[in-house]
Amino acid sequence: MKRLPERNPISTPAGAPDPTLARTRKELFVRQLFDSLSARYDRFNSLASLGLHRLWRAKALQAMDLPPRGTLVDFCCGTGDFLDLAARRLGANWRLVGLDFSSQMLAIARSRLSRLGEDGRIELRLCNVEFSGLPSDHADAVTCGFALRNVESLENTFREMYRVLRPGGRLGLLELSQPEHPLLRKGFWIYLNHVLPYLARPVIRERIPLSYLSSSVRGFRSPAEVVGMLTRVGFREAEARPVFLGVCQIYTATKAV
């Protein structure tokens, strides 16, 4: 199996805050949580979403309506799910950059993507996504899958995404959400709090990861609030598209020209 070239190791951007030094208790907790789950994360993700997260990522990428070539930056790339999909769907004319502050998740992403990076078009950067260290107007597309709940400041993260995008660049985000219909919402919480712990038992027996998943979904912004925040930051054409009965939202937007 070919490896990512040595000239493209996992790097820490010059001038960016040291990602190993958490600024807040939440950042420390989230980084330590995902470092500890890294080897089991992909299996858990597939169990939790019943394998649907791959379909949802594909739908988000399709909704972005991207050009034939460019640069895509995946915020909170984790083990590289979105980067893997983008490399396969977008082809060799796209350069891909993954950002994350969990070194263990990035190590798995590096191993996973090694077979796709022989031409040096995939770069992984260890950094806090609120301070990516990337140049302004750098990317044609920015993605983030199921990680908006994990950042310290959602607005600051959106501002960094906006800064990194070129004018006219496209944004594509995925996040879990609570269904609007009362019965669907009740079923969602029954699944999350009672069914999922049983399904996930072969992979995760600890209570903390499942408790965090539940509390972070419950405390996250509504789709209307997320769209409003994207608009305030400067994005235009911001919209939310519910999928799978509203369990997941696809957010798309465009940086103003």
Structure confidence by residue, pLDDT tens digits, 99-152: 999 999 999 999 999 877 656 789 999 999 999 999 999 999 999 999 999 999
pLDDT surpassing 60 at residue 204: yes
Task: Summarize the confidence of residues 155-184 as an average pLDDT.
Answer: 97
Instruction: Give all strands of the β-sheet with 165-176 in edge-to-edge order.
Output: 122-126, 94-100, 70-74, 139-145, 165-176, 248-255, 235-243
Q: How confident is the model at residue 13 (pLDDT cuts 50, 70, 90)?
A: low
Distance separating alpha carbons of residues 119 and 94, to the nearest angstrom: 11
pLDDT surpassing 90 at residue 168: yes
Contact between 106 and 83 under an 8 Å Cβ cutoff? The reply is: no
Structure confidence by residue, pLDDT tens digits, 16-62: 556 555 678 899 999 999 999 999 999 999 999 999 999 999 999 99
Q: What mean pLDDT is reported for the chain?
A: 91
Distance separating alpha carbons of residues 158 and 248, to the nearest angstrom: 19
Contact between 175 and 56 under an 8 Å Cβ cutoff? The reply is: no
Give 94: exposed, middle or buried? Use CB within 10 Å, 0-12, 13-18, 19+.
buried
Q: How confident is the model at residue 3 (pLDDT cuts 50, 70, 90)?
A: very low
Q: What is the pTM of this model?
A: 0.91
Distance separating alpha carbons of residues 251 and 157, to the nearest angstrom: 14
The pLDDT score that the predictor gives to residue 22 is: 63
- Measured in degrees and rounded to the nearest 5, phi and psi for residue 2 equal -75, 150
Structure confidence by residue, pLDDT tens digits, 230-253: 999 999 999 999 999 999 999 999
Instruction: Please tell me the total number of residues recorded for the chain in this structure.
Output: 257
